[in-house]
Amino acid sequence: MDGPVLALFLFSVFFGGIVSGLAGFAMGLVVSGIWLHILTPAQTAALIVGYGILVQSYSLWTLRHALKLKAVAPYIAGGAIGVPIGGLLLTSINPDYLRTGVGVLLVAYGGYFLARPHVHEVRGGVPADFGIGILNGILGGLTGLAGPVITIWCQLRGWPKDMQRTVFQPVILAAFVLTAISLAVAGTITAELVKLYAMGLPMLFAGVWLGLKLYGHLNDAAFRKVILWLLLLSGAVLIVPLSMIH
């Protein structure tokens, strides 16, 4: 990787860290458009997962005062079931049609609630939370996006921003760990990739630090808008054909 390409990679890591520190997810969305032009899809996925594990762990540590493992457990348990189901469905469902359909729903959801700020809170419970975990896992297994379903659910519950992040971030972290194991077994992680990963770490932590500082200045309403915009972006990324991304 020559100088200009390496500089582009490092800048994208820094910017992705800012977004993840600010919103708690979506680093993969903002970096994949660049990385898929300079890295292979497998390398891109491995780096997103590797950095994601660190970012989610660090962010959760800063919010540990609000973390309630009992509240998170149904989502993680559901996700552990949903991710393998999503992987199996890839063999029988056209993933392009699915990505487009989910993308349209995310764009519609984000656009609607940005235009209509008031949200009627929905009630949950362990069965509902478990079901959301399964759906979130299935979507993650099918599309690689581990956050949209769970972040939408947290918004619909009407929770404060810290509570939202301490629910959806552990769920995303668990999905990243499962994915990292599968990538390691598949032999995707090489010495060259580990070297590139290490080179990006300083920029990653600088970006996450800045993102968390910005997060501290957001109220609940502003945080909700940030999430809605990122969900809308998630949907747009899914709608764009993969051939155009490559």
Going by pLDDT thresholds of 50, 70 and 90, the confidence category of residue 201 is: very high
Supply the pLDDT for residue 143. Answer: 67
Residue 157 gets which letter from DSSP? Answer: T
Going by pLDDT thresholds of 50, 70 and 90, the confidence category of residue 10 is: very high
133-156 burial code (b ≥16 CB/10 A, e <16): bbbbbbbbbbbbbbbbbbbbbbbb
Q: What is the mean pLDDT of residues 26-32?
A: 79
Q: What is the mean pLDDT of residues 194-213?
A: 93
- Neighbour tally for 219: CB within 10 Å: 9
In contact, 144 and 89? CB cutoff 8 Å: no
């699915």: which residue's tokens? Answer: 98
Residue 63 exposed, middle or buried by CB count within 10 Å (0-12, 13-18, 19+): middle
Cα-Cα-Cα-Cα dihedral sign, residues 53, 144, 158, 227: positive
Residue 181 exposed, middle or buried by CB count within 10 Å (0-12, 13-18, 19+): exposed
pTM, full prediction: 0.75
The residues near 224 (Cβ < 8 Å, ≥ 6 apart) are: 155, 161
Length of the chain: 246
Supply the pLDDT for residue 140. Answer: 77
Supply the pLDDT for residue 199. Answer: 95
Please give the Cα distance from 176 to 174 (Å, whole number). Answer: 5
Please give the Cα distance from 22 to 218 (Å, whole number). Answer: 9
Supply the pLDDT for residue 144. Answer: 67
Residue 12 gets which letter from DSSP? Answer: H
Supply the pLDDT for residue 241. Answer: 59
Q: Write out the DSSP string of 184-236.
A: HHTT---HHHHHHHHHHHHHHHHHHHHHHHHHTT--HHHHHHHHHHHHHHHHH
Query: pLDDT digits over 147-181, tens only?
Result: 788 888 988 888 888 888 889 889 888 888 887 88
Supply the pLDDT for residue 90. Answer: 66
Query: pLDDT digits over 108-159, tens only?
Result: 888 877 877 666 678 878 999 999 999 888 877 776 677 788 888 988 888 8
14-23, 92-101, 199-208, 235-244: range with lowest mean pLDDT: 235-244
Q: What is the rounded average pLDDT for all residues in the chain?
A: 83
**Is the confidence at residue 99, as pLDDT, over 90?**
no
